[in-house]
Structures are given as C-alpha cells and as structure tokens.
Chains A and B, each alone.
Chain A
C-alpha cells in the first residue's frame, strides 16, 4: 500500500472537477427526473421520521452526544461503515478501478488498512476514557481547560477542512447527477443535515448512517449480481472477460501511450490488472499513506462514534461489523469497477466525468436497460439517491463532531468550568450545531468552483500530525503531560497547514497561465529528442524542498512531433467543416466536437483573465517550495517529537500520578459512564 493512496486527494479533485464535465442537465434525462425526485423524497421522508422519533428521546447531554450509550455493537458497526464510506470513497473507487484497473484497488486497501490501527491502538482505550469528545480523553490526566481549548481548536480545524471539501464535492455531485443548481444543492444538503443533528442529535445521525450504509450495500450487491451472473459466478471466467475486453484494452493502450505499440491485445488486457497505470512518485504516496493511515485514527467524527456504545465488548463488536461491511463493500467494488469498464467503457465514463465518479451510476443505468429505458433510469435514480444520502450522512457526523468540540469542550468545559446544567448543555450543543451548519453552508457556497482537494489532504494531515500524537502518547506514555499535548498539537497542526500552503496543491498563477496559453495557442512542432539518462539528486532533502536539485528520472527518446493546433485554430477549422458538411449525422458530430473545444477554450480564457497580472500564489511563491502534495511525512514525526519534548520540559507530577488510574480505566472501561456524569 505504500505505492498507493495518492487517491484521496486526487479523487476529491476529480469529484470537484466533475461539475464542469457535464452540462447543467445532469446525468438523468429530463423526462425521468420525477423518478429521481420520488426516490429522494422517500429517503428524506424516512430519515425525517427517524429524526422525529429520535428527537423525542433526546433530552440529556449523553443522549445528544452519545445516543445515551444505547447503540448496540452491530448498529454502531453499520453506522461506522456509513461514516466511512463517503461519496468520494464509494463513487471514487469504482471509478478509479474502471479507469486504471489495479491502481484503483490501492485506494480501497489504503482506506481499510487505516482502520486496523484505529481499533487496535485508539478506539477501545478512547471509549473507556473519554466521555463525548477528544478533549475529554486528553483532559483525563492533564489540565482540562488548557488541553480542551487546544483539542477543540484542532477538532474544529480538521472538521472545517473536511466539511468544506464534502460540501463542495456534494454540491458538484448532485449537480452532475440531476442538474440541480450548485447553490441549491449545498443549501439543501445543509438544511437536511442540520435537521438531523439539531433535533435528533447522535441518535438520528447514527440511524441516518445505518440506513445509508444499508442502501449502499443493497445497491452494490444487486448491481454485482447483474454483472457477474452471465459468467456463472465464476471469478476466473469473469476476469478473463475483463482482460479480453476491447474497451479495456483500448484504455490501457491510451494510458501507456507509445509503450503500448509493441504490445499484443492480450498483454494490454493483462496490464489492466497490474500496477502503475495511475500512481507515481513513491515518496509522495508514502507521505499521503502515512497521513491517511494515522489521520483516520485522529478524525474526531470517527473517534466520537465509539462513545455511543455501552461496553468495551460492544466497541470491539462494532469494529468487526464495520470492517466486514466496509471490506465486503470494497470486494464488491472489484466487480462494479471492472464491470463498468467492460460494459460502459472507460472512454464513456471519463467523458461524463474525468475522475470516473460516474462509473457506478452509469453501470446501474446500463444494467437496467440503458439511457432511454424506464428501469435503467430507475436504477440510476436509486444510485443517485444513495449518493445523496451518503453526503448528508457524512456531513451530519462532521457537524456533530465540530459542534461537540465547541459546546462541550469550549463552552461547558472552559467557559463554564464544567458547571452547567444538563439543559444548558443540550441547548449549547444545539446552538453550536446551528452555528457550524450555517458556517458549512456559507463556506460551501463561497468555495464554489474552487479546487478544494487540498482541504481533504489537509484534514487528514492535521488529524494525523496534531490529534493522533497527543491522543496516542497520553494513552501510552507515562510522562506525557499538558505541556507536551499543547506543544504537540500546535506544532503538528501549524506545520501541516504551513507546508500545504507552500506545496503544489496551491494555485500558482504562472503555471496556470502557461497551461491556458498552451490550450489556446497549441504547441509548436518539436524536433526528435535523444533519450536522457536519470540524474541523481543532491540528497533526500532535495526531494522534499525546492532548495537544491532533485533527482530526475530517465527519459525515453522522443520522435519529432508535428505542431498541435490550439483551441483558437481548432474553432476556426471546425466551424469551417460544419459549414461545409451536408450530412445530418456528420453535422451533429462536428457540432459536438465544436462545443467541447469551445468549452476548453472558454475555460482557458477564463483562467487567463482570472490570473492576469498575478505571478505568485496566495503566500507569495512563484512555484512550490515544498514538493510533496501531502505534508504527513514531515509534520507527523514533528507532532510526535513536540509532544515528547514539551512533556519533558513541562514536568507535571499529577499527570504521572494519574497514570495508574488511566491504565486501569483504559483496560477495563470501568466508570466510563460515571465519569461523564460529573
């Protein structure tokens, strides 16, 4: 998996970029829209009914934040799976497999691999020590006001980054699927999610997650049955068919470029099942891998789920169920992805959305009978509704996490010094939810059209560099204390954010302008180039920072290339061809090409206009200073180091004395609920 995982950020980027790939009409044809809305309506009605029921049972703080610790292990397992399978992971992975084969799996393995660390080292002790938030865990043997403030800041930072990415991704996704305006999509998602959280608290949020996970798994199993049935449910036969498919082979040939010319069709098909079609730069992948694996364990909305179960046994049971559901789902994506590649074809999937996010929905439509059939569009509507439920459910979980940090840690813990009546606490929690919700909607709308991919990477990087070292060391290191927690969380978060600000994730006007000019003006003819040998870099640091020369890989010899026309020239030639064309079908094709070129042209022009006169990025750099997309490789070790140094300098006898108590509690969970009462 080290070769893995570039995925997260890229797929989020793809998810976001997808909006422009499709006309405002969406993937569902107009005459079938009513069906989509009907399916959406049913799902909204069911979840609202549950929220009404949950609201009647949500009066105390424990009920609001932790569903009264009444969620069973199995229910929690489904809810975790619901939290976990975000739209990016459920639409994204099938899409990546359909476009890139083996490298797509790296994404699913990468996600699940993270979960093991959550269970084995973090989940159970956290449930045993914490009450409602990460701040509670850290406050156990440290000075509550100080650590709760820092923990809440970190939680709100992580949640806001992730929330913004989800809101923007969700708005774009809904627009791509059914053509509702971006702003209305974002507001719709926001209001629904607020209704669940404010009225139903954790109980409603949990059940929304469970329903969503159930729908997702049902939809996937049905689709897989349809895909696999023609092969008599035989795996080898099925894979043979995938590798032998001409659309798949064409895709591999396209991805490999010149190298593919010497390969046979069978070799090309086989290549689809091997690595290297998508992921590059191993150091960047390791860095992202670290952030994902360790960041998942530091994600506040994931940690929070473990406070909802009554016992340690239930916590364990819930992880088994979550792993089985998520793992099972990813095994199914093998069929969804390759099935979409074979039946719909990578070219068509990429045409609707360059990131491949529409692979699952398009496969559903195909299996139901195609674009113009009733059943095909019903299938598509169902998958779209599941995607919608997914966005709302994940966003609800995040809002609840951010709101609990605000209300429980900051307001009740720090401002009121833990002296607030249960009624006041619940009111504070609801008010905080509304604040976070409105903020999410506002930021979501403001960030329209922005590339927010780096926000996902950033959320995981901050969680891994700030939250995880603090939580891990307070649980497992006797000498850890308040000084260490504060130093570690601040250093981890600030390094992660600062490195991203100077990384290739930011927009560098010069590069954008150059690319846009290339699109418009085309490329001049180039002469043949001889092969270039790999050049070693000037050391490992040079691979990370733009202070010295980094290693350059060997280049193949290039043949002379003719000039490539730019969009400006193409527009003229296409228009001329259109005017000359007489055949109706031919006219239509040219018209289609013309529109595509025009779109690319307008986008490039827009970019040129937008960045006209600018030469530096937001922080004043002409090109990236930090060369990796993800800061994890540097910020995570720094976070750990800062906790250790801070603890050693600060010295706190009480923290050491409390170690034994933590130790017992961590193991046994005795008094977990009693602790929450004080």
Chain B
C-alpha cells in the first residue's frame, strides 16, 4: 500500500503527540524524584508534596497521560479515516 498524504499527516501528528506526552511522563517522574526533599517544603492536601507525588501523584498523572493519548488517537483515527470497525 502506498503512503498517502493523509497517512503522512496522521503519522506526524501521532509522533508529535507521543513526544509531548513522553515529556510530561519524564517531568512527572525524574525531576520529582531527584528534588523530593525540596518539594517536601510545599504542601498538597496536607501532605508534603514530594511524598505525595511518589505515593499517588505521579501514578495519577501516568493514568491521565494514557487516557489522553487514547482519546486523542481515537479522534485522529476517525478524522483520517483509518479507524477499525
């Protein structure tokens, strides 16, 4: 099957979104853990923020990232006519 223009566009959008979400993933993971002691000065829901991120915050962000990706890609599938029935 040849590569049509709409496929190309679809693929580029897919890659861009993947990169953006991987950035969010990175930020929610590595800096939060490196700087946990500094973050603990701040407070969130009555927790030290750094502690909260490790216990729950990062996990919640991961689930949100995946949810957003699936929603975005499902829409993109429909828009470019590549959705599977």
- A110-118, A455-463, A530-538, A635-643: which lies at the B interface? A110-118
Cα distance, A316 to B46, chains bound together (Å): 35
Taking A2-B30, A120-B18 as contacts, is the C-beta distance between A334 and B70 under 8 angstroms?
A: no
Decide: A319 and B66 in contact? CB cutoff 8 A.
yes
Cα distance, A323 to B67, chains bound together (Å): 9
Decide: A334 and B84 in contact? CB cutoff 8 A.
no
Cα distance, A93 to B84, chains bound together (Å): 39
Partner of B60, one of A120, A275, A327, A669: A327
Q: Which residues of A contact B3 (CB under 8 A)?
A: 660, 663-664
Q: Which residues of A contact B62 (CB under 8 A)?
A: 112-113, 115-116, 323, 327
Is A90 an interface residue, CB under 8 A from the partner? Answer: no
Mask, B60-82, CB within 8 Å of A = 1, is 10110111011001100100001
Decide: A313 and B7 in contact? CB cutoff 8 A.
no
Cα distance, A105 to B55, chains bound together (Å): 6
Q: Number of residues in B with C-beta < 8 Å to the partner? A: 43
Cα distance, A663 to B12, chains bound together (Å): 11
Partner of B84, one of A116, A239, A313, A320: A313
Per DSSP, chain A at the interface is helix
Decide: A334 and B82 in contact? CB cutoff 8 A.
no
Q: Which residues of A contact B77 (CB under 8 A)?
A: 312-313, 668
Cα distance, A119 to B65, chains bound together (Å): 10
Is A29 an interface residue, CB under 8 A from the partner? Answer: no
Decide: B63 and A327 in contact? CB cutoff 8 A.
yes
Decide: B11 and A109 in contact? CB cutoff 8 A.
no
Q: Which residues of B contact A105 (CB under 8 A)?
A: 54-55
Decide: A667 and B21 in contact? CB cutoff 8 A.
no
Decide: A323 and B63 in contact? CB cutoff 8 A.
yes
Cα distance, A324 to B63, chains bound together (Å): 6
Decide: A331 and B56 in contact? CB cutoff 8 A.
yes
Taking A1-B30, A105-B54, A119-B69 as contacts, is the C-beta distance between A664 and B37 under 8 angstroms?
A: no
Taking A3-B33, A274-B40, A663-B3 as contacts, is the C-beta distance between A239 and B47 under 8 angstroms?
A: yes
Decide: A235 and B45 in contact? CB cutoff 8 A.
yes
Decide: B74 and A236 in contact? CB cutoff 8 A.
no
Is B41 an interface residue, CB under 8 A from the partner? Answer: no
Cα distance, A660 to B59, chains bound together (Å): 37
Partner of A235, one of B21, B33, B47, B70: B47
Q: Which residues of A contact B45 (CB under 8 A)?
A: 235-236
Is A251 an interface residue, CB under 8 A from the partner? Answer: no
Is A670 an interface residue, CB under 8 A from the partner? Answer: yes
Q: Which residues of B contact A142 (CB under 8 A)?
A: none
Q: Which residues of B contact A312 (CB under 8 A)?
A: 73, 77, 84
Partner of A313, one of B11, B69, B83: B83
Give the Cβ gap from A565 to chain B, nearest Cβ, in Å. Answer: 40
Taking A273-B48, A320-B70, A663-B7 as contacts, is the C-beta distance between A121 and B18 under 8 angstroms?
A: yes
Which chain A residues (1-27) contact chain B, with CB distance < 8 Å?
Answer: 1-4
Decide: B82 and A667 in contact? CB cutoff 8 A.
yes
Q: Which residues of B contact A316 (CB under 8 A)?
A: 69-70, 73-74
Chain A CB within 10 Å — which of B11, B55, B56 has the most? B55
Q: Which residues of A contact B42 (CB under 8 A)?
A: none
Decide: A334 and B67 in contact? CB cutoff 8 A.
no
Partner of A102, one of B1, B21, B51: B51
- Using CB atoms, name the residue of chain A closest to B10: A667
Q: Which residues of A contact B18 (CB under 8 A)?
A: 120-121
Give the Cβ gap from B81 to chain A, nearest Cβ, in Å. Answer: 9
Decide: B33 and A106 in contact? CB cutoff 8 A.
yes
Decide: A236 and B33 in contact? CB cutoff 8 A.
no
Is A250 an interface residue, CB under 8 A from the partner? Answer: no
Decide: A2 and B66 in contact? CB cutoff 8 A.
no
Taking A274-B51, A334-B56, A661-B1 as contacts, is the C-beta distance between A668 and B82 under 8 angstroms?
A: yes
Give the Cβ gap from A163 to chain B, nearest Cβ, in Å. Answer: 28
Cα distance, A120 to B25, chains bound together (Å): 11
Decide: A669 and B66 in contact? CB cutoff 8 A.
no
Decide: A320 and B47 in contact? CB cutoff 8 A.
no
Is A317 an interface residue, CB under 8 A from the partner? Answer: yes
Which chain B residues (26-48) contact chain A, with CB distance < 8 Å?
Answer: 29-30, 33-34, 36-37, 40, 45-48
Is A390 an interface residue, CB under 8 A from the partner? Answer: no
Decide: A323 and B66 in contact? CB cutoff 8 A.
yes
Cα distance, A3 to B54, chains bound together (Å): 12
Taking A1-B29, A109-B59, A331-B56 as contacts, is the C-beta distance between A273 and B46 under 8 angstroms?
A: no
- Using CB atoms, name the residue of chain B closest to A128: B84
Decide: A331 and B33 in contact? CB cutoff 8 A.
no
Partner of A273, one of B25, B51, B69, B70: B51
Decide: A663 and B11 in contact? CB cutoff 8 A.
yes
Cα distance, A319 to B64, chains bound together (Å): 11
Mask, A300-320, CB within 8 Å of B = 1, is 000000000011110011011
- Of all A-B residue pairs in the complex, the 8 with the closest CB atoms, nearest first, are A236-B46, A316-B70, A311-B84, A668-B82, A327-B59, A105-B54, A660-B3, A323-B66
Jot down 28 A-B pairs with beta carbons below 8 A, ordered by A: A3-B33, A4-B33, A102-B51, A102-B54, A109-B29, A109-B58, A112-B59, A113-B25, A113-B58, A116-B21, A116-B62, A235-B46, A235-B47, A236-B47, A310-B84, A312-B84, A316-B69, A316-B73, A317-B70, A320-B66, A323-B67, A324-B63, A331-B55, A660-B1, A660-B2, A667-B82, A668-B84, A670-B84
